[in-house]
Amino acid sequence: MPSAPLEAPPFECRCCGDCCRGFGGTYVSEADMARIAAFIGVDAADFRQRFCQPSGRRWVLTQAASGYCVFWDRLCTIHPVKPRMCRQWPFIRPVLRDPQNWRSMAASCPGMRSDLSEEAILSAVRSALDNGGD
Ligand code: SF4
Ligand code: SF4
């Protein structure tokens, strides 16, 4: 008997970089900053001054003149230590609060499936958060 076709995962990054463009908001925590600073070999204070800017009470990564995140160069140049926000995408808590957030996010992220039921969305996000998300 032929086996059933494998279902596509809820999310598979296409590495298009669309989420790495435009100001707004790649928030970085102190832990993110320390990790990235060590990775690129600068001290934390220097890192903040050169690569971050304030957004309200928090810090975000700066944008290069290209409009992309300062660490984007046809791919994420800090991939192993990228900020928690980038690592978690799109399995984030706001989706648990309102699964419609998944659909809004999917409108601008070609890696996200937009045909999932609400139940499937919640299950995927819960499972990702349970398996190492924070
Ligand atoms: S927009 Fe989506 S598919 Fe494109 S790089 Fe970002 S996460 Fe990956
Ligand atoms: S840190 Fe990497 S994944 Fe995150 S916005 Fe910048 S280039 Fe994109």
User: Are 70 and 95 part of one and the same domain?
Assistant: no
Which residues share a beta bridge with 112? Answer: 11
Confidence check: pLDDT of 37 > 80: yes
* pTM for the full predicted model: 0.81
Compute, in angstroms, the gap from residue 2 CA to the centroid of ligand 1: 33
pLDDT band at 119 (very low <50, low <70, confident <90, very high): very high
| Residues 108, 75 share a domain | no
Select from 44, 61, 82 the last residue of a domain: 82
In this model, does residue 99 exceed pLDDT 60?
A: yes
Percent above pLDDT 90 for the chain: 71
Domains held by the chain: number: 2
Phi, psi of 84 (to 5 degrees): -50, -40
Provide the mean pLDDT of the chain: 90
| Side-chain-side CA neighbours of residue 104 (13 Å) | 7
Q: CB of 10 closer than 6 A to ligand 2?
A: no
| Residue 83 Cβ contacting ligand 2 at under 6 Å | yes
List C-alpha distances in Å: 81 to 23, 35, 36, 76, 87.
20, 6, 6, 10, 9
Evaluate if residue 49 carries a pLDDT over 70.
Answer: yes
Q: Is the pLDDT of residue 93 over 90?
A: no
- Any domain includes 117: yes
State how far the Cα of 107 lies from the Cα of 112, in Å rounded to an integer. Answer: 8
Query: CB of 96 within 8 A of CB of 40?
Result: no
Residue 35 near ligand 2, beta carbon < 6 Å: no
Least confident residue range of 6-10, 26-30, 81-85, 122-126: 6-10
Taking the CA of residue 12 as reference, the ligand 1 atom at the shortest distance is 3
Structural domain containing residue 61: 17-82
Q: Which amino acid is at 35?
A: R
Give me the helices (H) in the chain, please.
30-40, 44-51, 84-88, 93-97, 100-106, 118-130
**Ligand 1 atom with minimal separation from the 90 CA:** 7
- 109 Cβ inside 6 Å of ligand 2: no
- Measured from the CA of 85, which atom of ligand 2 is nearest? 4
Residues 62 and 110 in one domain: no
**Same domain, residue pair 21 and 78:** yes
Q: Which residue(s) pair with 60 in the sheet?
A: 27, 53
Q: Look at residue 77 in the predicted model and tell me its pLDDT.
A: 96
**3-class SS of residue 55:** strand
CA of 19 to the centre of ligand 1 (A): 6
